[in-house]
Amino acid sequence: MNRIGHWINNKVVLGNSGRSGVVFNPATGEEQAKVDFASVAELDAVVAASKAALPAWRATSLSRRAEIMFRMRELVDANRKEIANIISLEHGKVPADAMGELARGLENIEFACGIPALMKGGYSEQAAGGVDVYSIRQPLGVVAGITPFNFPAMVPMWMYPLAIACGNVFILKPSEKVPLTAIRLAELFIEAGLPEGVFNIVHGGAEVVDALCTHPGIAAVSFVGSSKVAAHVYALGAQHGKRVQAGGGAKNFQIVMDDAEPDSTIRAILGASFGCAGQRCMAGSVLLGVGPAGDPLQKRMVAAMDALKVDDTSANPAAEMGPVIDDSSRKRVLGFISNAKLLRDGRTGIPSRGFFVGPTLVDGMATPEEIFGPVLSLLKPASLDEAIALANRSAFGNGATLFTTSGKHARQFTRDIQCGMVGINVGVPAPMSIFPFAGWNQSFFGDLHMQGTEGVQFYTRQRVVLSRWDAAYRRQQGW
């Protein structure tokens, strides 16, 4: 069986802890690889390699860093199909979802290509008598990223292209369930010209997460995962003097008015709720049909879900939805379904092998928790005011969408909904790379979000320099 090691100084290094995890093919349920888990001592070695690479990389010119990012962008683009196939193999998502994930990841590399402009400081001449003041941005040093299984390429790309372009060295701990994509992208970084030690990968579970949050050699930690673990990472990292940004889970609301365009609305809801088998923090998990929109919406959704093709994409290229990541996830999702009043049962009409759960529609709120699977709750509030109030009671605050042709309703929704990312007739309102991924409440812990200029601010610190060169400062004081 294939064995996946760590990535240190631009090569694979097999682990010696004696511990490992299994990488499944979620569409078949078969084991396809073993991934080595790092010990604390092995993490120390990774941090040491990163620290050794830092001085030279920090001294590398902005234009050279940008050149490497441009090359990386071209290499990822040229190898899209291969990388998407790896994503589908280890995650189970359909090729269209895998290609879409890569496209969003590429946007972040493209943004990092603009690092010479993004790192510009400010200058004020004669800020005081004979004194000039300027500010510069400098890298933090060794920074780490801890990423989830649901986006093996995109979520790490929220972090490491910008962190590295800013002059930091980066340690990635991908989900132990999807290590293959990270290693392939690391190989492309060699072709792009990235020096040894600037980008390292370490595998493991909770022990490695805690070690990254407490290691004295690491200056900052970026995290995406469940809200429970995000809160833990934020608290633990902050207690140990680190800068932390931690994205958590969500409960995202989709509100449909009776004036919404019907066909495009259904297509958007299907993609938002069942793309990636519902395993994403921007998945539309609660559907609100307002007033007279409720009953027709229910009928159309059931018909559309019945028509959705759920299968192994390697065996059936026409499949529109794949499996969940592993058997424990499947059992957890089925547990929610078994306790719900169902309008459409996702336990039928699915492949007999693999970790499949079909698209499921629940009458009422299945749970206030994040399910992280293809389960959509349907509610029928009487008015937009009631729908917004329902959504605002959620503890989370990632995204919400309104489907309407009314500018009045769109404006009210945009102003009153309590979340960080808002869509108007957009199923998944996840921002492009020039904007921050701006979760609120229990969906984000920290101050500076990932992506955009907030990402630059997170991965750098500002220095202000005051200088005085006039003759007056040299006057004799008499002592």
Q: Which residues carry out catalysis?
A: 281
CA-CA distance, 227 to 224, in Å (whole number)?
Answer: 9
145 vs 167: CA distance, rounded Å = 15
Alpha helix locations (H) across 215-253?
227-239
Spatial separation of the C-alpha atoms in residues 46 and 60, rounded to whole Å: 21
Query: Burial, 24: exposed, middle or buried (Cβ in 10 Å; 0-12, 13-18, 19+)?
Result: buried
End-to-end Cα spacing for the chain: 79
Q: How far is CA 116 from the centre of its chain?
A: 25
The Cα 417–Cα 412 span in angstroms is 8
CA 333 centroid distance within chain: 21
Residues in CB range of 328: below 8 A, 6 or more apart: none
By residue count, the chain amounts to 479
CA nearest to 436, candidates 450, 417, 457? 450
